[in-house]
Amino acid sequence: MSDNRLIETEGLHKVYRTGTVETPALRGVDLELHSGEFTAIAGPSGSGKSTLLHLLGGLDRPTSGETFLEGRAMSKLSKDELAKLRLTRIGFVFQAYNLIPVLTVLENTAFVLELQGVVRAERIERARKILAELGIEQYADRYPNRISGGEQQRVAVARAVVAGPSIVLADEPTANLDSGTSLELIDLMRRLNSEKGATFLFATHDSRLLDRVSRLITLEDGRITSDETR
């Protein structure tokens, strides 16, 4: 397994400081993630799931510890290098507000390609292709506020995978969706995982999602308490 090791963390600690109050969110997380995995991080509210995802995705920096993405130590990267790493290696799906309101579905999907400097014709083509694969090409020219929440999340998934990242990090992607829509979204991501080998890491409470992952990591109080592969 170690030959396809994607992410490795060593003793990740994160302490939030607001004024004089210190909130420890992570207290020493050691973790290995591999390409092709479909993993969920579960745990009670406040256990540090989002915090861990942010650190793995280079959105925030740990108080101590280190994350290696494809062998590179992330703490050594500058702000712009981290941004570049997010842009090229990581896809994000957030709980809500995933899309830029002034851009159409197609433009939102193509946005990361634009940031990467892909020429217009190619990024439009690639964005259309992924929208078609996910069965949402009919919304291509609509603005985000003209489609449903479930559809918005699918567009977010499309945007997350369009540039072929090493891993997609999704924080509670189904939290705002009803049960049917959630299942559709989960199926879609599973398909991307099994058919294209896309790697996913979720932070979620959603049991429907937890039932469908191949690996389940449980966080409690900032520590990993169980890690089972199924």
Partner 1 sequence: MKAAIRHLKRNRGRSILTLLAVLIPVYSLVVMFGLAGGNLRDMFDTATRLDTGHLQIRHAERRGMGSALPLIKDPDEIISTLDRIEGIAWRTLRLDLPAIASVGERSQAIVVQGVVPEEIDPISSMRGLILAGRYLTSKDEGVVIGEELAKLLKIDVGDEMVILGVHPETGVGALKVPILGIYSTPAAAMGRTIIQAPLDVARRLAHSIAGATAVVVRVAGVTGPWDARRIDRVVAELRAILPSDYEVLDWRRLAPQVASYMAIIKPALFIFAAVFFGLGALVVLNTVYLSVIERTRELGLIISLGASQWRVIRMILLEAGILSATGAVYGALAGVSLVWIVEAFGGLPLPAAFSSMMKAIGMNPVLHLRVSFSQVALSAAAMAGVAVIAAWYPARRASRLEPVEAMRYVG
Ligand X SMILES: Nc1ncnc2c1ncn2[C@@H]1O[C@H](COP(=O)(O)OP(=O)(O)OP(=O)(O)O)[C@@H](O)[C@H]1O
79 DSSP assignment: H
The reply to whether 111 sits near partner 1 by the rule CB under 8 A is yes
Least Å from the CB of residue 43 to Mg ion: 9
The reply to whether 112 sits near partner 1 by the rule CB under 8 A is yes
Least Å from the CB of residue 18 to partner 1: 12
Partner whose footprint covers residue 154, from Mg ion, ligand X, partner 1, none (CB < 5 to 8 Å by kind): none
State the Cα–Cα distance between residues 196 and 198, nearest whole angstrom: 5
Separation in Å, CA 34 to CA 14, 106, 120, 208, 230: 23, 30, 33, 23, 14
**Interface pick for partner 1 out of 71, 101, 180, 197 (rule CB under 8 A):** 101
Least Å from the CB of residue 191 to ligand X: 26
The reply to whether 86 sits near partner 1 by the rule CB under 8 A is yes
Least Å from the CB of residue 105 to ligand X: 27
With CB under 8 A as the rule, give the number of residues binding partner 1: 26
Pairing of strands 72-73, 64-69: antiparallel
Nearest of 113, 45, 90 to residue 201 by alpha carbon: 90
Residue type at 124?
I
Segment interacting with partner 1 (CB under 8 A) among 78-86, 182-190, 198-206, 222-230: 78-86
The reply to whether 50 sits near Mg ion by the rule CB under 5 A is yes
Residues that bind ligand X (CB under 6 A): 16, 18, 23, 25, 43, 45-51, 203
**Interface pick for partner 1 out of 35, 63, 75, 103 (rule CB under 8 A):** 103
The reply to whether 200 sits near partner 1 by the rule CB under 8 A is no
What is the CB neighbour count within 10 angstroms for residue 77? 16
CB closer to ligand X out of 49 and 212:
49
Supply the Cα-derived Rg of the chain in whole angstroms: 17
Which 3-state string (H, E, C) describes 87-143? HHHEEEECCCCCCCCCCCHHHHHHHHHHHHCCCHHHHHHHHHHHHHHCCCHHHCCCC
Least Å from the CB of residue 217 to partner 1: 21
149: helix, coil or strand? helix
- Binding positions for partner 1, rule: CB under 8 A: 54, 57, 59-60, 79-80, 83-88, 90, 92, 94, 97-98, 100-103, 107, 111-112, 115, 159
